[in-house]
Structure 1
Amino acid sequence: MARGFESKDVEFQQAEAERKKAAGHALTKDERDALAKRRTVELSLARARADLEKARTPAHRQMLADAIATLESQLARKT
């Protein structure tokens, strides 16, 4: 009998999630594109920061620091 209640609860949660998606604001193509670009920059920034922590040579560290500065300025312009 407990399984029946669990099943109903899962069904309810899935239905709620679908309802919330449908009620949400649909993004335009331009908004989706801008969001995708922002996520790409954020991921690149996270990767560059992680690489900087592991980098040992000064030239590589400088290249990563420059890349991080560029990516941060791109994010600042998009907000």
Structure 2
Amino acid sequence: MSNPKSNAEKYWQANLRLILGCLVVWALASYGGAILLRPLLSSIHIGGTDLGFWFAQQGSMLVFIAITFFYAWRMNKLDKEFGLEE
């Protein structure tokens, strides 16, 4: 039989890794797409403006929404893995 404290610590560590991974992806999409890649993407035009603008204005929001759904899906799997599903 596994130690409940050890199981809780493993669950929390897995949760923190997931949160950190999601935050890194969001930071890269927001900062990278909006600031660092803007000059590179400015030559591609979509909808009357450059692609860098779309990444800065819409891309980071869409990435955040995708990360939210990914996090919920992955946490459900994590909950089942540790026997904590509702």
Length-normalised TM-score, structure 2: 0.39
Q: Which has the higher helix share?
A: 1
Q: Which has the higher strand share?
A: 2
Length-normalised TM-score, structure 1: 0.42
